[in-house]
Amino acid sequence: GGEGSGGYGQVLMSQAFGDEVVVDDDDDKKDEFGPSDEEGLEQDSHEGSPGVFAGHAFLVTGVEVEEKKKLKMEIEAQGGEIVDCHSLVAGKEPSKLLLLTAAPCRTSNFLCGLAVGVCVVSTQWVADCLSSKQLCPFDSYRLDASFDTHTRQRTKVPKHFGRTPMQMQDRVLGGKRIGIIGNRPFHQDHIRMVRFAGGQVVDVTGDSLDYIICEASTKFRPSSSQISGARARKIAIVNSDWLCACVMQQTLVGTEAFRVALVGNGARIRLFCLAPLAAPQIGGVGAVVQDARYLVLTATKTGVQALPVQEDALQGTSDGGSGHTGTCQPQENTVWVLEQSGADQQRSTRRFALRSCLNSHYLSTFEKGGALSYDDEAAFCEHVTMHELPDILPASSRRKIKIETCHKNWIGAYADGGVRDTCLVTHATQPAVQHIFEMDILGFQD
């Protein structure tokens, strides 16, 4: 299928970075990788010439449907070929390949062209070649890899990118061993892009790994044993944006801003909630959010409480699971460590014991329907199950969850500071607002 039919281009979102055509700053320099005027004239001067674009293949992206049809007709009429990233095989790309686009974008075809190391050329080049009946030099048609309309910053395509795809070992991921964790479509799409970039896809449980690319969608639940194994071997687990950044910048970018902080054994978390000031309600979340207090689950000397959030606590939050945190360190009494048995890790459950970083005691729901307390050991009543929710509250980068106790009730937080094992319709389609927590993943316990 084409790039618009799903897959990597759809995952990364097909969006232009700017409407303007960016011309290379060095227009007066000869492009040693582009065809010279003499080459073009010589090609056109022979009778029975196969066409201006003979022997060339083109990745076309970032243009309207009708424009793409027109380009296809014009290129094929002159001996060229339109290809798609899904039809190419890494390392066996056409010997002469160009990336045609109206402006920098993030489609699968665009990233494929950058990954294999070919020139990004404006679609105007095709029109001018047809008009002059020869292959025009690329110099004044080259485009950037990206253009940020807000910061006005550009990412240049390396000058040595020409018509010939680079050798596999010279590409941005050349020689790197990459593991991929995700559902089947994610896995297939990222295998393709990693290979185009020169990387080798290997099993995530293997002994030799450089990076792991993991699906960060809330709809995907990675294996706890895979995550624990990667952490034990100190392998960076990154999201798909890291791969995109490497390809677009043509360098191995740092992983810190792209880390995927996954829910698993050893995760350090905080739990925020909106506690209604009015009487508890079931459903109608939007109606009570306006009259609620923002709280954080806190370990105190007398027990577990939901206390008002301090400004420094918000400033120290993570950026939505990437592992990149703010400058302020969260207060120790608001941080909990998730602990999971080996059996639960193997089964990839979401059943955990929550240990306080303040006193090393475990959150306990010993009293059914009562207030939460502490226990020195993690037994049956100290384990809870986390259920992820869709984004039904105002926008937030944190994951929204409900916490189910061993009594099959939800944990609820209230404006008076109480945190209780409540019996309010455990399996309601629309949960009460006091049962919804936002989980901030800070990292993992050393």
184-201 residue pLDDT tens: 899 999 999 999 999 999
pLDDT at 391 over 70: no
Q: What is the dihedral of CA 215, 218, 220, 224, to 10 degrees?
A: 90
The pLDDT confidence band at residue 30, using thresholds 50, 70 and 90, is very low
pLDDT at 32 over 50: no
The pLDDT confidence band at residue 7, using thresholds 50, 70 and 90, is very low
Q: How far is CA 131 from the centre of its chain?
A: 43
The pLDDT confidence band at residue 397, using thresholds 50, 70 and 90, is low
The percent of the chain in helix, strand and coil, each rounded to the nearest 5, is 25, 25, 50
- Across the chain, mean pLDDT equals 79
Q: Which residue has the tokens 């097909």?
A: 14
Sheet holding 211-214, edge to edge: 200-201, 177-181, 211-214, 236-238
The pLDDT confidence band at residue 87, using thresholds 50, 70 and 90, is very high
Alpha-carbon distances of 196 from 10, 83, 89, 201, 382, rounded to whole Å: 17, 14, 8, 11, 48
pLDDT at 216: 77
pLDDT at 204 over 70: yes
pLDDT at 25: 35
pLDDT at 292: 54
pLDDT at 177 over 50: yes
Q: What is the dihedral of CA 56, 190, 11, 156, to 10 degrees?
A: -50
pLDDT at 18 over 60: no
pLDDT at 317 over 70: no
pLDDT at 277: 60
**How many angstroms separate the CA atoms of 34 and 122, rounded?**
14
pLDDT at 44 over 80: no
Higher pLDDT, 152 or 49: 152
Contact at 8 Å (CB) between 51 and 78?
yes
**How many angstroms separate the CA atoms of 421 and 347, rounded?**
26
pLDDT at 169: 96
pLDDT at 76: 96
pLDDT at 178: 96
Q: Which residue has the tokens 């044993």?
A: 225
Neighbours of 282 (CB within 10 A): 15
Residue 304: φ, ψ to 5°: -90, 130
pLDDT at 124 over 90: yes
pLDDT at 266: 83
pLDDT at 366: 87
Q: What is the pLDDT of residues 242-299, one digit of tens each?
A: 999 999 999 999 998 888 767 778 888 999 987 766 544 444 433 334 455 689 999 9
Q: Write the DSSP assignment of 244-280 as a string of letters.
A: HHHHHHTS---SGGGB---S-TTEEEEEEEEEESSS-
pLDDT at 12 over 60: no
Q: What is the pLDDT of residues 125-153, one digit of tens each?
A: 999 999 999 999 988 999 999 877 777 78
- What pTM was estimated for this model as a whole? 0.63
**How many angstroms separate the CA atoms of 82 and 310, rounded?**
57
Q: What percentage of the chain reaches a pLDDT higher than 70?
A: 73
| Mean pLDDT computed over 402-417 | 89
